[in-house]
């Protein structure tokens, strides 16, 4: 009857099967009409032609057209009860008849679920195209009805998760509700270690805050989103990264404008501001400010997290007794139920994982190797049990550092491999850099100095590019050591000089004794006069003794014997 139909369908469908099917269906329903006029009038866009065809088919279905449009707003699944909320003027029988008509016409398919019959569009493009036919005001009205109904009774549409409900609120023009829900969706995803999805939700919440402008009423919503996003950035990009630092600086500016009685509510912002300080002296000052501000707060979780600040700072300053005391005091307050929320707010990792790991490192440095091994084993087991991705990343980093301390290259190779796999799985850039750095160090000592050093350099470069170099003096120590192994002693001394200077500038003191010892060993290889060698070894001894770092003290004494300067130190 229509000999030119194949050419018309080919031209306007672009070969897309769904378009071909809909065009064929429309023609079959309108076979007596002058359908060939479409060949002259249809727009060049395949999608535009598809819209025209769907509209033409829907217009012939009467009231079912309104049901299709309401269903398109509802999403990929809806029930008659949900349709009644969207179209309150229609009864259940009318809606059921309309849904059956749409199913028979090929627009919908029935989805049998437990307890009720649901409907869904046969193809997402059909839903999207019908949705676009609605005027913006019509879309907003239907989204608002859906949001109100589902908010009051989540069981009405249990398949609509928090993020999807947030989208309905946003399309309804209810931006404050949307911000609140996007933030909640971010927290939910973060708690189950879906960090990329969590970041997307939270960043979108903040972008909606900007659309609302600078209003005091919106600031608590901003702070809620910032509180949840900060730990995600520190986990994915690095705690010293510019994005994380800026986020907390912005957050502090807003938090300080809030009423004094609300300050403890925003403690996670202050905690993150402490964590992202540019050096350990600044972090120490910030920790004291936070501690003083919250001195009268009795909340055990806040007291635990204040100790979390203290043990991290004191460890890096080389204050091992204070570190171990703070860990013991903090972990005595640990509550696993509270930790489910807190581990997503404070540094992005679990306080018990951090405390056990930091204790393991501090115990080894103070000469308590067996106790260190016990604490490390507890950390690994606990991190595996709670299955929180950022906490596991923190655990892997601690395992690697522990193996580095012990010169256990076989174990470090294994840990680095696991770090690399985990980083790839969760898109953790900073952990990926650390895996390369530690793997290169182990490879350089076990297989190939040149290729291992190159791998190490690649990891350090990645960390630098992210602005996520947390332990630069130690990484420079490693670099200098590898240069020394390659016989490049003068360059190695220069790198060690830089490491000592950085440690002094930032207060990163716990490895300072070992830096002085390394410089003394390197200087001895370039025929330096004995005075600076002796001075460095004395500094190493004094610092290790002052810190109670017995493991580093033993290394310094061994080097004194090996270099033949025992009578001068």
Reported as a single tens digit per residue, the pLDDT across 176-189 is 999 999 999 999 99
**For residue 112, what are the β-bridge partners?**
117
> Given a cut of 80, is residue 56 above it in pLDDT?
no
Under 8 Å between Cβ of 510 and 315: yes
Q: What is the mean pLDDT of the chain?
A: 88
> Given a cut of 60, is residue 37 above it in pLDDT?
no
User: According to the model, what pLDDT value does residue 267 have?
Assistant: 82
User: According to the model, what pLDDT value does residue 11 have?
Assistant: 65
Full DSSP string of 517-538: HHHHHHHHHTT--HHHHHHHHH
User: According to the model, what pLDDT value does residue 61 have?
Assistant: 86
User: According to the model, what pLDDT value does residue 36 have?
Assistant: 45
Other beta carbons within 10 angstroms of residue 159's beta carbon come to 12
Terminal CA-CA length for the chain = 107
> Given a cut of 60, is residue 376 above it in pLDDT?
yes
User: According to the model, what pLDDT value does residue 544 have?
Assistant: 97
**For residue 110, what are the β-bridge partners?**
119
- From CA 136, how far away is CA 392, in angstroms rounded? 46
Other beta carbons within 10 angstroms of residue 178's beta carbon come to 23
- From CA 42, how far away is CA 280, in angstroms rounded? 68
Give the mean model confidence (pLDDT) for residues 353-357. Answer: 97
Q: Give the confidence band of 395 by pLDDT, cuts at 50, 70, 90.
A: very high
Lowest-confidence range among 44-48, 394-398, 403-407, 485-489? 44-48
Give the mean model confidence (pLDDT) for residues 204-208. Answer: 95
Query: 217 vs 155, 170, 179, 223, CA distance in Å?
Result: 31, 18, 13, 11
Q: Give the confidence band of 39 by pLDDT, cuts at 50, 70, 90.
A: very low
CATH class of the region 161-297: mainly alpha
**For residue 111, what are the β-bridge partners?**
118
Lowest-confidence range among 120-129, 167-176, 491-500? 120-129
Token pair listed for 241? 């990264």
Angle at 159 between CA 153 and CA 161, to 5 degrees: 80
Lowest-confidence range among 27-31, 127-131, 447-451? 27-31
Sequence-distant (≥ 6) Cβ neighbours of residue 217 within 8 angstroms: none
User: According to the model, what pLDDT value does residue 237 have?
Assistant: 79
Closest by CA to 480, choosing from 451, 522, 433, is 522
Give the mean model confidence (pLDDT) for residues 218-229. Answer: 92
User: According to the model, what pLDDT value does residue 313 have?
Assistant: 86
> Given a cut of 70, is residue 45 above it in pLDDT?
no
- From CA 365, how far away is CA 354, in angstroms rounded? 17
User: According to the model, what pLDDT value does residue 41 have?
Assistant: 46
Lowest-confidence range among 47-51, 61-65, 286-290, 320-324? 47-51
- From CA 449, how far away is CA 441, in angstroms rounded? 9
User: According to the model, what pLDDT value does residue 83 have?
Assistant: 95
- Neighbouring C-alpha atoms within 13 Å toward the C-beta of 462: 19
User: According to the model, what pLDDT value does residue 295 have?
Assistant: 67
* Helix pair 472-485, 512-525: axis angle to 10 deg: 20
Other beta carbons within 10 angstroms of residue 44's beta carbon come to 8
CATH topology of domain 471-569: 1.25.40
The residue ranking higher by pLDDT, 234 or 399, is 399
Structural domain boundaries of the chain? 5-59, 161-297, 300-406, 471-569
For residue range 491-550, what is the model confidence (pLDDT) as tens digits?
999 999 999 999 998 888 999 999 999 999 999 998 778 899 999 999 999 999 999 999
Q: Give the confidence band of 154 by pLDDT, cuts at 50, 70, 90.
A: very high
Give the mean model confidence (pLDDT) for residues 240-262. Answer: 86
Token pair listed for 253? 């500016």
User: According to the model, what pLDDT value does residue 568 have?
Assistant: 79
Other beta carbons within 10 angstroms of residue 211's beta carbon come to 10
Full DSSP string of 169-182: HHHTT-HHHHHHHH
User: According to the model, what pLDDT value does residue 361 have?
Assistant: 98
> Given a cut of 80, is residue 440 above it in pLDDT?
yes
The residue with tokens 């925003």 is 266
The residue ranking higher by pLDDT, 10 or 526, is 526
Give the mean model confidence (pLDDT) for residues 66-78. Answer: 93
> Given a cut of 60, is residue 44 above it in pLDDT?
no
Give the mean model confidence (pLDDT) for residues 245-259. Answer: 89
Give the mean model confidence (pLDDT) for residues 386-396. Answer: 93
> Given a cut of 60, is residue 95 above it in pLDDT?
yes
Other beta carbons within 10 angstroms of residue 275's beta carbon come to 25
For 472, the enclosing helix (H) or strand (E) is: helix 472-485
> Given a cut of 80, is residue 162 above it in pLDDT?
yes
Token pair listed for 17? 């099967």
Token pair listed for 431? 């952990």
* Helix pair 219-236, 429-446: axis angle to 10 deg: 20
User: According to the model, what pLDDT value does residue 49 have?
Assistant: 65
* Listed ranges 157-161, 194-198, 281-285, 397-401; the one with the highest mean pLDDT: 397-401
Query: Structure pTM?
Result: 0.65
User: According to the model, what pLDDT value does residue 4 have?
Assistant: 67
Give the mean model confidence (pLDDT) for residues 476-496. Answer: 96
* Percent of the chain residues past pLDDT 70, beyond the cut: 91
């Amino acid at each position: 009857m229509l000999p030119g139909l194949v050419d018309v369908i080919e031209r306007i469908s672009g070969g897309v099967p769904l378009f071909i099917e809909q065009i064929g269906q429309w023609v079959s329903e309108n076979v007596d009409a002058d359908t060939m006029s479409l060949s002259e009038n249809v727009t060049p866009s395949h999608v535009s032609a598809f819209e025209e065809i769907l509209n033409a088919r829907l217009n012939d279905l009467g009231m079912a057209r309104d049901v299709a449009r309401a269903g398109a707003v509802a999403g990929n699944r809806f029930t008659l009860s949900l349709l009644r909320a969207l179209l309150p003027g229609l009864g259940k029988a009318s809606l059921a008849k309309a849904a059956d008509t749409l199913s028979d016409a090929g627009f919908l398919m029935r989805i049998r679920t437990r307890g009720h019959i649901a409907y869904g569009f046969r193809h997402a493009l059909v839903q999207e195209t019908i949705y676009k036919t609605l005027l913006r005001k019509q879309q907003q009205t239907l989204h608002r009805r859906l949001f109100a109904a589902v908010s009051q009774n989540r069981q009405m549409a249990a398949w609509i998760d928090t993020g999807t409900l947030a989208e309905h609120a946003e399309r309804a023009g209810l931006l404050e509700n949307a911000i609140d829900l996007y933030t909640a969706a971010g927290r939910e995803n973060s708690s189950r270690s879906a960090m990329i999805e969590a970041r997307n939700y939270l960043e979108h919440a903040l972008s909606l805050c900007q659309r609302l402008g600078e209003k005091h009423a919106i600031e608590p919503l901003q702070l809620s989103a910032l509180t949840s996003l900060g730990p995600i950035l520190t986990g994915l990009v690095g705690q010293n990264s510019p994005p994380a630092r800026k986020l907390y600086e912005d957050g502090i500016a807003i938090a300080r404008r809030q009423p004094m009685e609300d300050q403890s509510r925003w403690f996670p912002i202050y905690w993150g501001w402490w964590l992202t300080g540019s050096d350990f002296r600044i972090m120490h000052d910030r920790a004291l400010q936070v501690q003083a501000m919250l001195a009268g707060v009795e909340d055990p979780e806040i007291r635990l997290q204040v100790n979390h600040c203290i043990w991290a700072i004191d460890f890096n300053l080389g204050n091992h007794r204070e570190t171990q005391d703070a860990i013991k005091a903090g972990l005595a307050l640990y509550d696993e139920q509270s930790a489910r929320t807190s581990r997503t707010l404070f540094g992005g990792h679990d306080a018990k994982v951090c405390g056990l790991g930091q204790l393991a490192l501090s115990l080894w440095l103070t000469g308590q190797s067996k106790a260190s091994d016990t604490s490390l084993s507890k950390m690994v087991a606990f991190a595996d049990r709670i299955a929180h991705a950022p906490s596991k990343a923190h655990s892997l980093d601690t395992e690697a550092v522990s193996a580095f301390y012990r010169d256990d290259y076989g174990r470090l190779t294994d840990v680095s491999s696991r770090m690399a796999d985990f980083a790839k799985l969760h898109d953790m850039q900073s952990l990926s850099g650390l895996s390369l750095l530690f793997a290169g160090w182990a490879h350089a000592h076990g297989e190939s100095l040149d290729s291992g050093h190159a791998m190490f350099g690649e990891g350090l470069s990645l960390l630098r590019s992210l602005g996520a170099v947390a332990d630069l003096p130690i990484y420079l120590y490693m670099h200098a050591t590898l240069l020394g192994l390659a016989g490049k002693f003068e360059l190695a001394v220069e790198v060690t000089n830089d490491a000592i200077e950085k440690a002094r500038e930032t207060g990163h003191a716990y490895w300072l004794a070992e830096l002085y010892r390394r410089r003394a060993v390197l200087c001895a290889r370039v025929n330096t006069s004995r005075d600076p060698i002796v001075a460095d070894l004395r500094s190493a001894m004094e610092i290790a003794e002052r810190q109670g770092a017995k493991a580093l003290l033993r290394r310094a004494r061994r080097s004194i014997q090996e270099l033949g300067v025992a009578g001068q130190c």
